[in-house]
Amino acid sequence: MASIWTLQFHPISLQPSIWVSKHQIHLNFEKLRPEFRFKSSSSKQLSRKFVLGANSGSPSDPDEPAVKTQTITVAVKDQLSKLHGTINSFPPLVFVMNRYGGSNLAIGLCIAITLLVIAVRVYAARKLRHRTPGSVADLVRRGQLRSDRRGISRPLKYEDPFNNPMVKVGKSNSTVEMCGKVYRLAPVTLTEEEQAIHQKRRSRAYQWKRPTVFLKEGESVPADVDPDTIRWIPANHPFATTASDIDEDLAQNNVYQKHGVPFRIKAEHEAMQRKLEALQSEQKLNNLMIDPRNAKDFERPFKEHPRSREQVEQSSFNNQTSDSMSPTSDPAPISVESNSSSEETQKL
């Protein structure tokens, strides 16, 4: 059984040995062939002799049984020699098997065990890879969690981006391993002189002065502006809405402002405040009378009028808008005032 195993594993595992054994087989075969031929020819001679002998004898010969037995034995011998020949002509594997039987058994066993180990490892690795996600082991495998630092709340820290588990430099500094890939390193050959040469080349090639004034195409050049510093921008450029209502100083102050209400919001509030005050002083006398709309609020609640409800809703909506538009305005603005204030903001 073991020898058969040997025969089976030979071609799988060791290519050179196959070649060697084939060679051996060929040699053996060639050695064996003449022998076989000789043997077969001798057997033929024997049988021929026997046939002659048989023919020469009379049919009523008393020695007939002996002859018969001889024939049988010779025939058997002939067959045996044939079988022997076939076996010997078969020999490559059998011969090798017989020759190296003991050592092959050991080698075969070793190889078989190795293959078994590989198969088991591959199977185990595959099984591990396809393990259901979500376990702690999975987190460790994905790099979210370090297996040796379980339960330590302090964040993991490495030395620097040039030397950490993801970036490793080879011993000779000629290679670097990043994210599992090894790269060859080549030194930078740029020198200060070369850099200076490039700078000179560029300074000759590109004569440029940074524009400081942007003007829309078609605008006239201001008197105090150097024409070289003007950048003409097309009308559809994002910068082209230069018709800004704020002047430069104001914009600068806005940028530098650190506390308080921003300029524009403040200005809007002030304008609104003034308007409100003016309106209030105008309508002081009117407010003394009962406002017909306010009077409707005192109507009996169970008596519902669709029209009046709409009006109430409208007035409440006006109040909301006025609140959102003027958070710092008077806490109880009447609807007429709120309307006017919203107009004011729209104007602004």
Do β-strands 167-169 and 175-178 pair in parallel, antiparallel, or remain unpaired? antiparallel
- Contact pattern from residue 186 through residue 225 relative to another protein, giving x for each residue in contact according to CB under 8 A and a dash for the rest: xxxxxxxxxx-xxx-xxx-xxxxxxxxxx-----------
Residue in 18, 83, 116, 178 binding another protein, rule: CB under 8 A: 178
Question: Which of helix, strand or coil describes residue 161?
Answer: coil
Residue in 176, 271, 279, 325 binding another protein, rule: CB under 8 A: 176
Nearest Cα to Cα of residue 11 among 108, 120, 114, 105: 108
Q: Is 54 exposed, middle or buried (0-12, 13-18, 19+ CB in 10 A)?
A: middle
Touching another protein, residues 262-281 (CB under 8 A): 262-267
What angle (nearest 5°) sits at the alpha carbon of residue 58, between those of residues 52 and 61?
Answer: 110
CB of 10 to another protein, least distance (A): 20
- Among the listed ranges 33-41, 101-109, 154-162, 289-297, the one in contact with another protein (CB under 8 A) is 154-162
DSSP secondary structure letter of residue 84: H
Question: Are 175 and 185 a contacting pair, CB within 8 Å?
Answer: yes
182 binds another protein (CB under 8 A): yes
- Among the listed ranges 58-66, 100-108, 150-158, 289-297, the one in contact with another protein (CB under 8 A) is 150-158
Question: Are 296 and 306 a contacting pair, CB within 8 Å?
Answer: no
60 binds another protein (CB under 8 A): no
DSSP alpha helix (H) spans, 284-334: 284-288, 292-297, 306-325
Touching another protein, residues 111-140 (CB under 8 A): 114, 117-118, 121-122, 125
Touching another protein, residues 76-115 (CB under 8 A): 114
Kind and range of the H or E element at 231? strand 230-233
Residue in 110, 250, 278, 348 binding another protein, rule: CB under 8 A: 250
Euclidean distance between the first and the last CA atom of the chain, given in angstroms as a whole number: 104
144 binds another protein (CB under 8 A): yes
- Among the listed ranges 13-21, 43-51, 174-182, 280-288, the one in contact with another protein (CB under 8 A) is 174-182
CB of 191 to another protein, least distance (A): 5
Do β-strands 175-178 and 213-216 pair in parallel, antiparallel, or remain unpaired? unpaired
233 binds another protein (CB under 8 A): yes
Q: Which is nearer to another protein, 26 or 198 (CB)?
A: 198
Question: Are 175 and 183 a contacting pair, CB within 8 Å?
Answer: yes
Residue in 106, 136, 251, 348 binding another protein, rule: CB under 8 A: 251
